[in-house]
């Protein structure tokens, strides 16, 4: 699933090509990709809308339109956005046609991705928690989220209502960097462990962005190139490989219904 670094990369790569451009039309090849509004109303409103810029909130990608509307996309399990000219890839579910003959392809092999056109983003994004790369995400704020929570720390990191944007891969990487077992109760972490994990979260996300996201399965950048963040992973998707620190074989368990990779020696 595209996580914060992948969605941020898509935003950064796309914005120079779409800012200031107008949307001629949107072709829906898989109508269920559109979640809101109804197809007829969506097509009526979207035509001629000028894109003023782009934002990201958690794992959501936002096209800001000059009219005040916002075209909001969520990649879900396998989505990505790609640029092209009359050459949609095989799993394209929607095509955004721009006024310079450029097209944006919503490519989504598993068909879980969603697109919505809204006036007020709060109905979608108001439930999201703090952005982990924002100034508001301080050690104190992070400690407050963990206080009195007995949930496994991995589950806290994945809870988008608490912290927006961290997904499975980067949670595993941050916990490994902090030497914290993913099943530790959140309220059992010491002040020093909280400080260490806070720094690790920001570090692994920033590294993921610098490396243009992780192309483990279906993620591609808008130009069709892959990201390289997965090449830097220490534990994520590395079951049975030797731990880069102690050489113990890495293990995979399920935590909050998610495959979780860790070192049983370093993360006791």
Q: Report the C-alpha gap between 152 and 142 in whole angstroms.
A: 15
Q: Which residues are catalytic?
A: 2-3, 59, 258
Sort strands 51-57 and 114-118 into parallel, antiparallel or unpaired: unpaired
Q: Which of 177, 174, 182, 193 is nearest to 152 (CA)?
A: 182
Q: Report the C-alpha gap between 4 and 56 in whole angstroms.
A: 8
Cβ neighbourhood burial of 33 (10 Å; 0-12, 13-18, 19+)? buried
Task: Estimate the share of the chain in helix, then strand, then coil, as percent rounded to the nearest 5.
Answer: 30, 25, 45
First-to-last CA distance in the chain?
27
144 Cβ contact list (under 8 Å, min separation 6): none
Which tokens belong to 100?
A: 């310079």
Which tokens belong to 226?
A: 């892959």
Helix (H, G, I), strand (E, B) or coil at 36: strand
137: left (phi over 0), alpha (psi -120 to 50) or beta: beta
Helix (H, G, I), strand (E, B) or coil at 73: strand
């Amino acid at each position: 699933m595209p996580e914060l670094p992948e969605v941020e990369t898509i935003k950064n790569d796309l914005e120079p090509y779409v800012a200031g451009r107008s949307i001629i039309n949107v072709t829906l090849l898989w109508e269920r990709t559109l979640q809101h509004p109804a197809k007829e109303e969506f097509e009526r409103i979207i035509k001629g809308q000028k894109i003023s810029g782009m934002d990201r909130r958690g794992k959501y990608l936002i096209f800001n339109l000059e009219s005040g509307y916002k075209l909001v996309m969520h990649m879900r399990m396998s989505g990505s956005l790609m640029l092209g000219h009359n050459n949609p890839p095989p799993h394209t579910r929607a095509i955004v046609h721009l006024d310079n003959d450029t097209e944006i392809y919503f490519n989504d092999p598993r068909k879980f991705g969603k697109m919505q056109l809204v006036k007020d983003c709060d109905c979608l994004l108001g439930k999201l928690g703090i952005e982990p790369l924002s100034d508001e995400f301080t050690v104190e704020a992070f400690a407050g989220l963990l206080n009195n929570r007995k949930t496994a720390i991995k589950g806290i990191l994945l809870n988008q209502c608490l912290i927006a944007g961290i997904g499975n891969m980067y949670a595993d990487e941050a916990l490994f960097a902090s030497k914290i077992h993913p099943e530790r109760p959140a309220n059992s972490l010491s002040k020093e462990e909280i400080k260490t994990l806070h720094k690790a979260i920001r570090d692994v996300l920033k590294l993921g962005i610098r490396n243009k996201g992780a192309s483990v399965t279906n993620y591609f950048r808008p130009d069709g190139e892959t990201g390289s963040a997965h090449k830097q992973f220490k534990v994520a998707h590395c079951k049975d490989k030797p731990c880069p620190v102690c050489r113990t074989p890495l293990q995979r368990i399920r935590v909050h219904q998610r495959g979780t990779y860790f070192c049983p020696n370093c993360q006791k």
